[in-house]
Chain A
Amino acid sequence: MAQSPGKFGSPSGWIIADGYNLTTVKPQQLREKISPNMMPSHGIGDSWEEHTPTGLTKAELGVEGGFFDTGAVASHAALVAGMPSSPQATARVACWGFGGLTIGEFFRGCRGVFQSTYEVLATLGELTKANAEYVIHGQFDAGVILQALTQKSADWNTKTDGASVDYAASTAQVVIPITSNSQANPSVVTTPVPHGLVTGQKVLISGVAGSSPDINGEQAVTVLTTTTFSVAVDTSAGSGGTGGSFVKADTPSGGVAYQHVTEFTGLTGFIGKVRDSPDDTTYADLATFANVTAAPAVEAVEVAGTVDRYLSYDGNVTGTGTITAFGGFARF
């Protein structure tokens, strides 16, 4: 059987740093590398080299071969301004992805990025290019795009545009199989592997056969052990079931919302919000970004507590003009 080729290519890559859309300078390479710190752990008596992880993880990000451009909001302005010059230098905020800049696709975000090099390369017979290397200070956040980099001129929200993002439908989720659910009140669900849930968390169960009443659908769980939890369904007068699986329908530990504004013309203000909803009917403010009055602008807002199943992005403009914004959210 023929192997299918890769799903994404270079047209799907993108990077925005501090409100600068670096993809527009046509970088030749965008590189993300995550590696554990290892140290040699072999010694006298060993005949093979050994390496042991230290527990630290290192992340690197590189943008190479972008065309040198001194225009407004172009590569030179984006890259030269980011060089740190003191121990108190402000870290940058960058978001990038390899699967396309579209709502629902995955992105990576980092709130602690120090640009360590800016290199301009004038080569005989070629257009002048610029390279930038970033040192990541802290962790990557893996999130989902809620607002693609699209120009807008009036208030909008992605939930009524039909573009909210359903966490239960995320391909990044681990689908946990279900062994059975008991005939009891409440019914106890057993999994063959640790379920990783906390009490109060919601799951979306599907494919369970024979349970009466049915436990398929969205359920809040009460954790009993690492491989059992109960759901508020009384099957004591009916029957237990077997098989099926579940995915998480919300997450309990907060997250971080990212916003980049790459273009801001004519308007007097812009406030972006990330909203969440457990039912896709009533949405609540989850993260509100500060009022933006100029571009480029960037902000990352960390939130605590439960993040519901559906996420949307709301843009609220003041005045007449246009704005181009990116919004995303990474669950912890």
Chain B
Amino acid sequence: VAERLRVVRRALTYPADAESLRLVREAGGLSKLSPEAREKVRMKEVKPGEWCDDLPAESVEGRLLRGDVERVTVDEPAPVDGAAPMGGRRKVAR
């Protein structure tokens, strides 16, 4: 049994990998990236219904509160990247 994050109502875009996230954090946000760093940052888009287990940690609480994502308990362990949903039991708390 594993707990996973799933996008609920609005498509999300965020840094696609650890290196991109590191660069964004180092700059203090996407809008503050230097032109050189901007070239290196890769973004991903996750649509409603898709997993977003790799959502940046600093964004998780706010997105849960807003109802943009939900925690879902599933029987399968979370894969490394955000793959398509495989079903699961929806937890009451978001």
Chain B residues near A279 (CB-CB < 8 A): 29, 56, 58-59, 62
Binds B, one of A2-10, A157-165, A237-245: A157-165
Give the contacting residue for A284; candidates B11, B32, B33; CB below 8 A: B11
8 A Cβ contacts from A150-181 to B? 157, 159-164, 166
Interface contact B13-A283, CB-CB below 8 Å: yes
Interface contact A280-B32, CB-CB below 8 Å: yes
Chain B residues near A159 (CB-CB < 8 A): 13, 30-31
Majority secondary structure, A binding face: loop
Name which residue of chain A comes closest to B31, CB basis.
Answer: A164
Residue A275 interfacial (CB < 8 Å): yes
Interface centre among A157, A160, A279, A285 (most CB of B within 10 A): A160
* Size range of the chain A interface in the assembly: 20 to 34
Interface centre among B30, B32, B56 (most CB of A within 10 A): B30
Give the contacting residue for B62; candidates A162, A278, A286; CB below 8 A: A278
Name which residue of chain B comes closest to A278, CB basis.
Answer: B62
* Size range of the chain B interface in the assembly: 20 to 34
Residue A114 interfacial (CB < 8 Å): no
Give the contacting residue for A162; candidates B10, B33, B43, B59; CB below 8 A: B33
Interface contact A160-B41, CB-CB below 8 Å: yes
Residue B91 interfacial (CB < 8 Å): no
Interface contact B10-A281, CB-CB below 8 Å: no
Give the contacting residue for B13; candidates A163, A275, A306; CB below 8 A: A275
Chain B residues near A280 (CB-CB < 8 A): 24, 28-32
Chain A residues near B28 (CB-CB < 8 A): 280
8 A Cβ contacts from A260-319 to B? 275, 277-286, 306, 310, 314
**Knowing A160-B38, A306-B66 touch, does A281 contact B14 (C-beta < 8 A)?**
yes
Interface contact A166-B58, CB-CB below 8 Å: no
**Knowing A164-B30, A164-B31 touch, does A285 contact B10 (C-beta < 8 A)?**
yes
Q: List 25 A-B contacts (CB under 8 A).
A: A159-B13, A160-B30, A160-B38, A161-B38, A162-B30, A162-B33, A162-B35, A162-B38, A277-B30, A278-B59, A279-B56, A279-B58, A279-B62, A280-B24, A281-B14, A281-B15, A281-B30, A282-B55, A282-B63, A283-B13, A284-B10, A284-B11, A284-B63, A285-B10, A286-B10
